[in-house]
Structures are given as structure tokens and as C-alpha cells.
Amino acid sequence: MTRAPDTPGFGHVKTWVFDLDNTLYPPSARLFDQIEKRMTAYVMAALNVPRDKADRLRADYWRLYGTTLAGLMHEHDLDPHPYLIDVHDISFDALVPDPALHDAIAALPGRRIVYTNGSAPYAEKVLAARGLRGAIDAVYGVEHAGFRPKPERVAFETVFAREGLAPETAAMFEDDTRNLTAPHAMGMRTVHVAPAPAPAPHIDHHTDDLTAFLRALR
């Protein structure tokens, strides 16, 4: 159920920051199922471990470090570049263009950017498959944060500095509640985009329908 925007609202927002996976496409597309399989295979090959251990490490690193990649870099000094190319080499057939979402994003005043823990080239492919590229002014991937992942505050600070973004005049849309903690502390308006709400002090709004939420802001 979409909660209508309320006071203090979004009238001050000049930059709209959107996460990518499960935010700008529905979770039912299950792209991350493909990515997780490739992550597991990569961990198996890179660390020479069996599948069950690779699966466990993938999940543990995500929980401890924010992403599997961050854990692999921290624990094993893994080169992130080939990893990002490999794990994002997936099929985008499950994605369909969403003209209504495109128009809702394009109608927002100010800058509209995507910031993902994935790579920027991967994000570009997702946006193209969703027909959203024309509504977005800039795309930032984990590489633009020096491979530091959300939810680390320094990752947000690095990307926002590149963008020239003032957090107090920005809003963040994200499916992972962990990744809204730092933006809220920095002064951003935060919106949790997910099928079910997860009430928390760092979440200002929840919606299960991003298009409807954005249209309600007009």
C-alpha cells in the first residue's frame, strides 16, 4: 500500500537518487537469482572451494560487508573488475519497458540519478531494458565509490561528492532498508520501495508502487 507523501514533503528536493535492483524493476523479475548463481560460481573458482562453502561465503560477506564483492576484496584482495563483468553477464529477458515509470521519473524537477552497488555498465543495460534511460541524468556504480558499497556512509559521500549533491536537498529511493540509514542521517528524504513496509526511524516513506508514489508528488 502506497503511503501518500506528507509534511515536510518533497518540495525542497532537487536531486532524486534511485537504487537499481528491485527498485526500478519489480522483484518478480528475479534478476538477482541469476547474479547470485554467477557470484557463487565466481567464488568457487576464485577461492577453489565447493559450492556449499561458496554460497555460505557469498551470503556472509553480503551480511558483514554490504556486498559479496566487498567481502572478497577485504578478505582475499580480489580484483573487482573481472568480477563485476562476470557476475553481471546475465539475461535481461525478464525486463520489459515501463513507459509509465519513465514518465513519472522524467516529470520530477531537478536531477535524477541512479546509484547502485552493481556496476554502471550493468545499470545502463537494466535501464535500457526498462526504457528508462532517457529519464535519468547520471548513473553511478560501485566503481564510482572506490568499490566501497552501500550501506557504508563513505560510499554515499564519495558518489554524492562526484555528483555535487547536497543531501539536505535530495531524496533516496531504495529497496534495502540498510541502505537508507546513511542517507537519512545525512539529511535526505528516504523512501523504502518494497512489497511490504519495514518501519524504522530512518525510513520516511514506504511504497509498493514507485510509479504511483512519484505521480502523487506532482
**Grid cell listed for 122:** 550493468
Evaluate whether residue 10 is within a structural domain: no
Identify whether 99 is preceded by a cis peptide bond (ω within 30 of 0).
no
Domains held by the chain: number:
2
Q: Domain span at residue 130?
A: 15-26+96-216
pTM given for the model: 0.92
Tell me, what's the pLDDT at 62? 87
Residue 8 lies in a domain: no
Start-to-end C-alpha separation, the chain: 19
Q: Same domain for 61 and 106?
A: no
CATH number, residue 127? 3.40.50.1000
Question: CATH code at 66?
Answer: 1.10.150
pLDDT digits (tens, 9 = 90+) for 153-209: 999 999 999 999 999 999 999 999 999 999 999 999 999 999 999 999 999 999 999
Contact 166, 129 (CB under 8 A): no
Is 21 in the same domain as 53? no
Report if residue 66 sits inside a domain: yes
pLDDT score for 2:
44
Asked if the structure places residue 160 within a domain, the reply is: yes
Q: Extract the residue ranges of the chain whose pLDDT is less than 50.
A: 1-7
> Distance between alpha carbon 214 and the CA centroid of its chain, in Å?
17
* Closest alpha carbon to 103 in 92, 94, 93, 112: 112
Q: Does residue 211 sit in the same domain as residue 110?
A: yes
Same domain, 122 and 175: yes
Q: What pLDDT, on the 0 to 100 scale, is given for residue 218?
A: 76
Give the pLDDT of residue 6: 44
